[in-house]
Chain A
């Protein structure tokens, strides 16, 4: 079927197109050049006066994996407030802080998103992550596999294994768990918590292993680079949420020796200790460091006010924060000599000084980082806020007077501690398209996505221009996924199943000579049973795998 999208105003930063009126043709799921053979168009959409972008990509959202299910089970009262009826084409479920998987897929699609990436796939829990994502309709998905607190890596590092051996282990794990990148959460800290360490600074040694977080980050960042994985090492830094962690974050940036590194939910890592409350904004220094270090990218992890739940691999920090749990219940787990998790419900309040300043810090970072290709729009769903708040966040970034109106309502001391009111920048549609589409596809290494040029998959979102950007981004007119119309007027009209994006770096098989006895002796599963096979993703007939090329590959 040949589809023509006629006369829309196109924002396609990957092709350098910033608001030009042009037609787009789609055939067999992909965007094609205008046919020259005069064959008839089967379906035409008149998009004159409408804004056209590629489908949005959330590069960091907790949509799959055990901690999400713990969060769901923990919060029946939250679900009761947001029941979702089944329709003739969609499944029932519920939403808000941690929606059920079907609802997450529908709601992402209804906002114009066509791909979502789970940033904390514990290798031992990767099956669950893939099964949950497998039950998340419409959107494509993928995961970053978590390393850095796993005993095998720390043993290798203590034993001074060479980088080559570590690269083999990293590549083996990525293949076994079927991920597209490598994530580190509080490098070594989740492990240190199991030895009863309650904090771990960048240069502090694990009490059992002879390694520091800095060494872990350097080792894994090198592995990612040397293996040719496009997505830089995805780093959740040390000391999340700790006043003064600004210094740790700056040190982390300096200490990575110029290797590519993505700092995630950087808002939570940008705190100073100034002022009466010993809590201040480090946004200016962090933004400056990002501006000056081209090897660094970041997503913000914006907080927005209201009830949510924090779900993180960082059980060391989650345990420390449990006293703020609202409602007052929380879960921490140590997991399989692999990692851990912590789930703490949270209610961010605009009249709470710390929460209000966190809100301002996130926005400051968004607005002070100059290059939209290196900063990404996230709330670290659900940690900072549910992903459904993105349209509101976009309005805060694009509309200074709205932002200042909101600023005027938060805790007065927080207003005094932020420079937000003085920042004039308003994001443009092109910049929004960069940070939510073109930049995201580039940083993840997605070939054929996040752009509207011929050859790309036809993931396309169409909005009605509206000066109220929240309204505009809440309800797209049309969303096409792989060329099929899946959302019309903000509602799902067809349910499809996206693909799972992965990379498959090569490794020396002999790494299994070390891994097999480790599994047999210490773990609770056989090596062969640990590895996820391709058919586990595809056997139900709706899942598929898309492997992306490595850097330097053809």
Chain B
């Protein structure tokens, strides 16, 4: 039995790297700094280790050969999921390039809310260490932050010491929209977060009103979506007075039509504040299970984030057209390869098409796919790299145990070779 310290997590998106993990054979136990997201993800036991072809045990070579055979004569295969590490994504894109596939990250429809805002007008954002040391005002829009990242407040806001704040407990936390589900946002001295609740669907109106107030426009309305304009004016004033305000949103939580316009409004509020002489930054929350990794690697390999089509021999990007779910359901696709090395419960979409699944050991299917190859999890079964939610930092994932499971990259490269 050994204990490995300073273990980075690819699961939470925050790149937390202070976990201690006890390794006993192939059994893992988080002994320090776990949370409700990371601990179960690390501790999940290995189930199957043998590939299956149509439900029957097969060698890895037979399984990759069969997978190549299924892909060989396709016209529009789809590679979905894209939940893996950097090397896995590199191999995935090489295979997609060769097979003319659509590549589609499983959370692209969520990430798209940010990407469309970025690609239309850009943004001014910050990263975790800046937030940890500078942020004196955090405005959380439409998102239950602690449910998304249980240790966010503990690690990055209520840290004992910050380089540029006299007392981190004096940071001001404001929720706009969704109220927090727990008390993590209450400061160590008992100061509760200010909460201005409204329905998710009203956030576009509320954000627009706040934007107008930040610009100094007068509003005739007395309230918007049940929030008094005077309350929003107070937020605008606080944002202007802050040393380093941060506006945080989780795109996943903004589950309403044209949410990208609300993201854009938030980004423009940040820009307007900076233009008017105050420092302020945005902080988009997201990126669990390899989302940022997929977008980053696809970004440098193809120039586009991870929804591209290689059918014409070069990458084409369309944030709507190449939605794999649509392609599968309207008959445009003719094969599915599902890659999910982190989460055995993230099943492939249901389809009657030939299906290859490269996934974390233990994935259970209603009907076995044509090929299933259980792979190791990056950061547990093999070393690798994963991107953190703030996009800038790639963390070095450690190998914690010898499971004998191949990596996603090894399997996908073998399929590419066999193709």
Q: Give the B-binding residues of A (Cβ under 8 A).
A: 66, 68-69, 72-76, 79-80, 83-86, 91-94, 98-102, 122, 124-125, 127-128, 131-132, 135, 151, 193-196, 208, 319, 325, 328-338, 343, 521-526, 528-529, 532-533, 536, 539-540
B335: interface (CB < 8 Å): no
CB contact between A76 and one of B90, B126, B300, B317 (< 8 Å): that residue: B317
A72-B299, A76-B303, A332-B124 given as contacts; is B132 within 8 A of A522 (CB)?
yes
B392 near A124 with CB under 8 A, answer yes
A86 near B15 with CB under 8 A, answer no
B127: interface (CB < 8 Å): yes
A127 near B394 with CB under 8 A, answer yes
A336 near B129 with CB under 8 A, answer yes
B6: interface (CB < 8 Å): yes
A333 near B301 with CB under 8 A, answer no
The A-contacting residues of B in range 104-126, CB under 8 angstroms, are: 115, 118-126
Instruction: List A contacts of B167 (CB < 8 A).
Output: none
B256: interface (CB < 8 Å): no
Instruction: List A contacts of B124 (CB < 8 A).
Output: 319, 331-333
A92-B313, A135-B90, A524-B129 given as contacts; is B300 within 8 A of A79 (CB)?
no
A331 near B133 with CB under 8 A, answer no
Q: Which residue of B lies closest to A133 (CB)?
A: B300
A529 near B87 with CB under 8 A, answer no
B274: interface (CB < 8 Å): yes
CB contact between B314 and one of A86, A331, A539 (< 8 Å): that residue: A86
CB contact between A92 and one of B87, B161, B310, B395 (< 8 Å): that residue: B310
A93 near B315 with CB under 8 A, answer yes
B300 near A72 with CB under 8 A, answer yes
Minimum Cβ distance to chain B for residue A329 (Å): 4
B302 near A525 with CB under 8 A, answer no
Give the size range of B's interface with the partner: 35 or more
Q: Which residue of B lies closest to A529 (CB)?
A: B17
A335 near B127 with CB under 8 A, answer yes
Chain B 279-320 per-residue mask, 1 if CB under 8 angstroms from chain A, else 0: 101000000000000011101111111000010011111000
B303 near A79 with CB under 8 A, answer yes
Q: Which residue of A lies closest to B301 (CB)?
A: A100
CB contact between B394 and one of A73, A128, A337 (< 8 Å): that residue: A128
Instruction: List B contacts of A525 (CB < 8 A).
Output: 15, 17, 393, 395
CB contact between A79 and one of B123, B127, B304, B310 (< 8 Å): that residue: B304
Instruction: List B contacts of A540 (CB < 8 A).
Output: 87, 90
30 A-B residue pairs with Cβ-Cβ distance under 8 Å, sorted by A, are A66-B391, A73-B299, A73-B305, A74-B118, A76-B317, A79-B304, A80-B317, A93-B301, A94-B303, A94-B315, A98-B303, A99-B303, A101-B301, A124-B392, A124-B393, A125-B394, A127-B396, A131-B86, A131-B300, A319-B124, A325-B122, A329-B121, A331-B118, A334-B127, A337-B130, A523-B129, A524-B129, A524-B155, A526-B6, A536-B396
Complex Cα spacing A330 to B125, Å: 11
A91 near B303 with CB under 8 A, answer no
Q: Which residue of B lies closest to A131 (CB)?
A: B86
Complex Cα spacing A336 to B243, Å: 17
Ordered nearest first, which 4 A-B pairs have the shortest CB separation?
A329-B122, A83-B314, A79-B303, A336-B129
A72-B303, A74-B119, A85-B314 given as contacts; is B6 within 8 A of A528 (CB)?
yes
A336 near B394 with CB under 8 A, answer no
Q: Which residue of B lies closest to A197 (CB)?
A: B279
Chain B 1-33 per-residue mask, 1 if CB under 8 angstroms from chain A, else 0: 000001010000001011000000000000000
Instruction: List A contacts of B132 (CB < 8 A).
Output: 522-524
A92 near B299 with CB under 8 A, answer no
Minimum Cβ distance to chain B for residue A503 (Å): 22
Q: A100-B301, A135-B301 are in contact. List 11 more A-B contacts (CB 8 A).
A: A72-B300, A73-B119, A74-B119, A74-B122, A91-B94, A92-B314, A196-B279, A337-B133, A338-B129, A522-B163, A524-B156
CB contact between B393 and one of A75, A99, A193, A336 (< 8 Å): that residue: A336
Chain B 77-95 per-residue mask, 1 if CB under 8 angstroms from chain A, else 0: 0000000001100100010
B385 near A336 with CB under 8 A, answer no
Instruction: List A contacts of B322 (CB < 8 A).
Output: none
Q: Which residue of A lies closest to B16 (CB)?
A: A524
Instruction: List A contacts of B391 (CB < 8 A).
Output: 66
Q: Which residue of A lies closest to B246 (CB)?
A: A334
Instruction: List B contacts of A92 (CB < 8 A).
Output: 97, 302, 310, 313-315
Minimum Cβ distance to chain B for residue A200 (Å): 15
B170: interface (CB < 8 Å): no
B129 near A522 with CB under 8 A, answer yes
B395 near A66 with CB under 8 A, answer no
A522-B163, A524-B132 given as contacts; is B394 within 8 A of A328 (CB)?
no
A100 near B130 with CB under 8 A, answer no
Complex Cα spacing A122 to B120, Å: 27
Instruction: List B contacts of A336 (CB < 8 A).
Output: 127-130, 392-393
Complex Cα spacing A94 to B315, Å: 8
A128 near B392 with CB under 8 A, answer yes
B52: interface (CB < 8 Å): no
A334 near B394 with CB under 8 A, answer no
Instruction: List A contacts of B396 (CB < 8 A).
Output: 127, 529, 532-533, 536
Q: Which residue of A lies closest to B318 (CB)?
A: A76
CB contact between A521 and one of B115, B161, B278, B310 (< 8 Å): that residue: B161
Complex Cα spacing A132 to B301, Å: 8
B274 near A319 with CB under 8 A, answer yes
B134: interface (CB < 8 Å): yes
Instruction: List B contacts of A151 (CB < 8 A).
Output: 133, 163
Chain B 207-238 per-residue mask, 1 if CB under 8 angstroms from chain A, else 0: 00000000000000000000000000000000
A74-B118, A333-B127, A524-B132 given as contacts; is B6 within 8 A of A529 (CB)?
yes
Complex Cα spacing A72 to B303, Å: 5
CB contact between B129 and one of A72, A135, A329, A337 (< 8 Å): that residue: A337
Minimum Cβ distance to chain B for residue A436 (Å): 26
Complex Cα spacing A343 to B125, Å: 12
CB contact between B385 and one of A131, A193, A330, A337 (< 8 Å): that residue: A131
Chain B 34-54 per-residue mask, 1 if CB under 8 angstroms from chain A, else 0: 000000000000000000000
Instruction: List A contacts of B383 (CB < 8 A).
Output: 539
**Most chain B beta-carbon contacts within 10 A, residue among A66, A86, A99, A336:** A336
Minimum Cβ distance to chain B for residue A490 (Å): 19
CB contact between A69 and one of B120, B128, B299, B316 (< 8 Å): that residue: B299
The A-contacting residues of B in range 368-392, CB under 8 angstroms, are: 383, 385, 391-392
Q: Which residue of B lies closest to A535 (CB)?
A: B383
